[in-house]
Amino acid sequence: MRRLCDGGADEPDAPGEPEAQEVGNDFVSLTWQKPRSDGGGRILGYFVEKKDANSDNWVRINQAPSPATIFNVPNLIEEREYDFRVFAVNEAGESKPATTGRRVLVKDPKGSIQHRRWISVGSVRGSLRRIF
């Protein structure tokens, strides 16, 4: 590690490997563990990046560090595979990335949305229920 700020802090260790907690037809919800070492400075948050399996280019999703260890990656394309990586950030800089151990296939786990219909099932506080 190298010191990058006057406060004596080092860059943090990489966070834990990101895992897909939930996958939908156009999003992935990632979770990860905090880094083992914060480098002596408070963790300000995390940057998340994605890469289409058919590309070499990583794209940063959030422009400011997100403080939570869970992040919803929106606007993905169904039936495509993605790699994800996460960087921890403190006042000294960014950690090395933690990358998903395997690619994530974006797919609605309940099938194609065109096969779903909303119908009214009695009065459940005036709401609709989804019947498959």
pLDDT digits (tens, 9 = 90+) for 112-121: 544 443 333 4
pTM: 0.78
Region of 115 on the Ramachandran plot (φ > 0 left; ψ -120 to 50 alpha; else beta)? alpha
What is the per-residue pLDDT for 7?
62
Q: Position of tokens 């039936």?
A: 79
Region of 88 on the Ramachandran plot (φ > 0 left; ψ -120 to 50 alpha; else beta)? beta
Give the chain's residues under pLDDT 50.
1-4, 113-132
Q: Show me where the domains of the chain are located.
A: 19-131
Task: Answer for the pair 85, 98: CB distance below 8 angstroms, yes or no.
Answer: yes
Neighbours of 101 (CB within 10 A): 9
What is the per-residue pLDDT for 115?
40
What CATH fold (topology level) applies to the domain 19-131? Immunoglobulin-like (2.60.40)
What is the per-residue pLDDT for 112?
53
**Which amino acid is present at 41?**
G
**CA 9, CA 118: separation in Å to the nearest integer?**
54
Q: Position of tokens 């169904």?
A: 78
Task: Answer for the pair 87, 12: CB distance below 8 angstroms, yes or no.
Answer: no
What is the per-residue pLDDT for 120?
35
Neighbours of 23 (CB within 10 A): 18
